[in-house]
Amino acid sequence: MWRWVAAGACLAAAGTAHAGDFPQPGQAVRIVHGYAAGGNADIISRVVGQELSRNLGVPVVIEPRTGAGGNIASQSVAKSAPDGHTLVMLMGGHSVAGALSDKLGFDPVNDFSMISTVMDFPFFIMVKRDAPYRNMDDLLQAMKRRSGGVTYGSAGVGTTQHLTGELLAAQAGVPLLHVPYRGGAAALTGLLGGEVDFVIDTATVAVPQLKAGTVRVLAVTSRERWSGLKDVPTLDESGFAGFDVSSWAGLAAPARTPAAVVDRLNAELRKALAAPEVQSRLEQMGGAVAPSSPDAMKRRIAGEIDRYLAVARDKNIPRL
Domains 4-120+246-314 and 123-238 are alike in CATH topology: yes
Sequence ranges of the domains in the chain = 4-120+246-314, 123-238
Is the pLDDT confidence value at 5 over 60? no
Residue 45 has pLDDT above 90, yes or no: yes
Q: Report residue 7's pLDDT band, with 50, 70 and 90 as the boundaries.
A: very low
- pLDDT of 8 reads 43
| pLDDT tens for each residue of 150-184 | 999 999 999 999 999 999 999 999 999 999 999 99
pLDDT band at 19 (very low <50, low <70, confident <90, very high): low
Asked: is 4-120+246-314 a CATH 3.40.190.150 domain? The reply is: yes
Q: CATH topology for 123-238?
A: D-Maltodextrin-Binding Protein; domain 2 (3.40.190)
The mean per-residue pLDDT over the stretch 298-319 comes to 94
pTM for the model? 0.90
Q: What is the 3-state secondary structure (H, E, C) of the chain?
A: CCCHHHHHHHHHCCCCCCHHHCCCCCCCEEEEECCCCCCHHHHHHHHHHHHHHHHHCCCEEEEECCCHHHHHHHHHHHCCCCCCCEEEEEECHHHHHHHHCCCCCCCCCCCEEEEEEEEEEEEEEEEECCCCCCCHHHHHHHHHHCCCCCEEEECCCCCHHHHHHHHHHHHHCCCCEEEECCCHHHHHHHHHCCCCCEEEEEHHHHHHHHHHCCEEEEEECCCCCCHHHCCCCECHHHCCCCCCCEEEEEEEEECCCCHHHHHHHHHHHHHHHHCHHHHHHHHCCCCEECCCCHHHHHHHHHHHHHHHHHHHHHCCCCCC
* Predicted local distance difference test score (pLDDT) of residue 147: 86
Confidence check: pLDDT of 24 > 60: yes
- Per-residue confidence band for 255, with pLDDT thresholds at 50, 70 and 90: very high
